[in-house]
Amino acid sequence: MRSRRIGFKLPKIPSSEITSESAYLCRREFMKAGSLLFAGGLVSGGSIPAFSSVSGSEVALPEGWALGSSDALTPYEDVTSYNNFYEFGMDKSDPARYAHELTLSPWQVQIEGEVEQPRTINLEDILAATQEEERIYRLRCVEAWSMVIPWNGFSLAEFIRWLKPTSKAKYVYFETAYRRKEMRGTRSFSSVIDWPYREGLRLDEALNPLAFMATGLYGKPLPAQNGAPLRLVVPWKYGFKSIKSIVKIRFTETQPKTSWQGIAPHEYGFYANVNPDVDHPRWSQRYERRLPSSLWNPNRIPTQLFNGYGEFVADLYKGMNLARYY
Ligand SMILES: Nc1nc2c(c(=O)[nH]1)N[C@H]1C(S)=C(S)[C@@H](COP(=O)(O)O)O[C@H]1N2
Ligand SMILES: [Mo]
């Protein structure tokens, strides 16, 4: 895979077209973080960067490159060695051990359904059509652990606008590669998933500026165990929505069936918004373990509604009963 230069690129959009909301976020987050990179906010293409952030691996992360006192970045080691990627096994260490068996190049994404031009697109063409950005987001797994990850990638909304769904499209469905030869977890008899791994979003959720497609982390190409070469990141939802190694995107009129709904529909819903008030049937969601954590330093912190991104996403769910639509 061609590795793209990581770093700030001048915006394609003229600043006159930048929404007041993103301008607001930028100003606000600039004041808070004092840098181009923020968790909770987004990097608008139109913001004027204070500095060009990480440039590949040549430049070390600046001191204090974090979201706030309680939100230090999770070390690269932890982000890349403690993973859920059941295609490679059920243990947290399996993906780091086996995901390199997946062939990442060439990589294509099939676009189908309610879209102007159904087609198969090379990853390179997707990267050329989108604007690279960096986002620091919290990732909250439904299992009640969490991390803070600096992603590289591009806005899902920008990608979707480029794909041009039809007016009938109400949802977007994603599918992970399913290659039995390269994914040892899919050959396992104990696997509970009906492969391929499937996920979906309501179209308006997918168009929210926070929804992101990651191609890298910590300024480096995305490690295989984190879903290379292309994975979704939806920071206000439980981690299982953030589907990895995407090969298919389908725009649909009706709500797609997701893998976790198929496994246990009463435990894992379509929405899966992070919510401390809606417990998993088998455990509380009130707290989470912020990694790295240990027996001696459990690093237990309260879970926030929408993983702390409510000011950007709560409107999507206005009037909805979040306990019913979990
Ligand atoms: N294809 C696929 N995508 C997946 C998963 C998976 O098993 N298969 N696990 C999900 C879960 S449960 C979580 S918490 C995140 C973990 O992402 P990370 O390993 O990059 O931290 O990936 C999500 N995406
Ligand atoms: Mo998860």
Amino acid at 135: R
Nearest Cα neighbor of 247 from 122, 163, 86, 67 is: 122
Best probe residue, ligand 1, of 217, 242, 261 (max atoms within 8 Å of C-beta): 242
Best probe residue, ligand 1, of 141, 244, 261, 285 (max atoms within 8 Å of C-beta): 244
Q: Which atom of ligand 1 is nearest to the CA of 176?
A: 1
Scan for tokens 């990480």, then name that residue.
Answer: 54
Write down the CATH number for the domain with range 15-317: 3.90.420.10
Amino acid at 50: A
Q: What is the SS3 assignment for 97?
A: helix
Domain residue limits, the chain: 15-317
Q: Cα–Cα distance between 36 and 258 in angstroms, integer? A: 35
Tell how far the Cα of 296 is from the centroid of ligand 1, in angstroms.
Answer: 27
Contacts 24+ apart (CB under 8 A), 295-303: 301/70, 301/146, 302/276, 303/140, 303/144, 303/146, 303/274, 303/275, 303/276
Q: What is the mean pLDDT of residues 97-113?
A: 98
71 band by pLDDT with thresholds 50, 70 and 90: confident
Q: Cα–Cα distance between 277 and 304 in angstroms, integer? A: 9
Q: Could you tell me the CA-to-CA distances from 30 to 21, 27, 74, 115 in Å, in that order?
A: 14, 5, 21, 37
pLDDT in tens, 263-293: 999 999 999 999 999 999 999 999 999 999 9
pLDDT in tens, 204-232: 999 999 999 999 999 999 999 999 999 99
Q: Could you tell me the CA-to-CA distances from 97 to 145, 155, 215, 260 in Å, in that order?
A: 21, 30, 20, 24
Q: Cα–Cα distance between 21 and 205 in angstroms, integer? A: 16
Range with the poorest average pLDDT among 16-30, 71-85, 177-191, 293-307: 16-30
Q: What is the dihedral of CA 60, 130, 151, 256, to 10 degrees?
A: -170
The pTM of the whole model exceeds 0.85: no
Q: Determine which residue's CA is closest to atom 12 belonging to ligand 1.
A: 240
